[in-house]
A = this chain, B = another copy of it.
Amino acid sequence: MKKISGIIAAPFTPFNQDHQVDYERIEMFAQLLKRNQADGAFICGTTGESSSLSHQEKIRIFESWSNHRHAGLQLIAMLGGTCLEEMKELAVVAANLGLDGISILAPYYLKPNLDQLIEVCAQVAASAPDLPFFYYHIPSLTGAYFSMRVFLEKAEAQIPNLAGIKYTHSDLMDFSLCKMHRDGYYSMLWGSDEILLSGLVAGADGAVGSTYNYALPLYQEIIKNFNLGNIPEAAALQKLSMKMVDLLMKHGGNRAGKGFMKIIGVDCGPCRLPLTSLTNEQISQLEADLHEINFPEFCSKF
């Protein structure tokens, strides 16, 4: 099974001022990722406000990305979701579009036990048996605090196309044990941009995150330095990443990311509720704060 690695952006879903999906803008987003040489895109993830999208909207978003993809951009479709029937349909859509992978998270209303979770994954993965399947581990949002190492041990017999985990949790030992399992067989994708370097020393194959949309050059530099063994340089850049994320948190967290997108010139519009959007004034303040830490030189270029 083809490995997925590198820096994978988790795109925002562009909305117009009526909070309807602005499919046109997806092309612009794909160009941004191309110019900045992202290795992939994780479509309709948490950053993409997946849970705020309807089933039909997700299908059209997958189609749009498929239409505007370029060579070298690996596209993973995030299908979850709490409704298994819908996830299975979306898996078929992704396969028909020839995307590079699919992913789901644990159903997050009725909470599964580990066996039930694996059965859910198995049914979705079986709906697109030729696509790599990634489990999206983000227990702070799903409540599914399972050991991923145990997940792999139990799931692999039932999911032939199990390819790896998008790991958005702080248990670095569990993460490493997953990487060590079957001698590195699984693609382990690290989901905490602000501590990417800690993930890299723990064995990450790649990374998926929202700040890779607008600050790709910074992380490419971190990885380059890491690969050369220049740890002090990598650590200094990582600290800059933390300062930037700290500013985002101060300005509203995930929803502030769309403000950042506007600053770099790829306006993705407002957020849908339950997220609220930054005002123009708040975006200006964020921009000023970013200048103060000399961040703009590391922003994605558009």
Contacting A109 at CB < 8 Å: which of B116, B141, B171, B276? B141
Judged by a CB distance under 8 angstroms, whether A112 is at the interface is yes
A125→B49 CA distance, assembly (Å): 22
Judged by a CB distance under 8 angstroms, whether A239 is at the interface is yes
Q: Tell me how many chains of this kind the complex includes.
A: 4
Residues of B within 8 A of A281 (CB): none
Question: Can you name 27 A-B pairs with beta carbons within 8 Å?
Answer: A51-B83, A52-B82, A54-B55, A54-B85, A84-B274, A85-B272, A108-B108, A109-B141, A109-B142, A110-B141, A116-B273, A119-B276, A120-B273, A120-B274, A170-B170, A170-B172, A173-B194, A176-B239, A176-B242, A195-B198, A197-B201, A197-B202, A198-B198, A198-B199, A202-B235, A203-B239, A226-B231
A69→B282 CA distance, assembly (Å): 51
A52→B87 CA distance, assembly (Å): 10
In the complex, the answer to whether A116 meets B201 with C-beta atoms within 8 Å is: no
Judged by a CB distance under 8 angstroms, whether A246 is at the interface is yes
A50→B82 CA distance, assembly (Å): 9
In the complex, the answer to whether B274 meets A112 with C-beta atoms within 8 Å is: yes
Judged by a CB distance under 8 angstroms, whether A111 is at the interface is yes
In the complex, the answer to whether B194 meets A198 with C-beta atoms within 8 Å is: no
In the complex, the answer to whether B52 meets A55 with C-beta atoms within 8 Å is: no
Residues of B within 8 A of A107 (CB): 51-52, 273-274
Q: Which residues between 222 and 250 of chain A lie within 8 Å of chain B, taking CB atoms?
A: 226, 229-231, 234-235, 238-239, 242-243, 245-246
A267 CB, nearest partner CB in chain B, Å: 21
Q: Which residues between 110 and 140 of chain A lie within 8 Å of chain B, taking CB atoms?
A: 110-112, 116-117, 119-120, 123
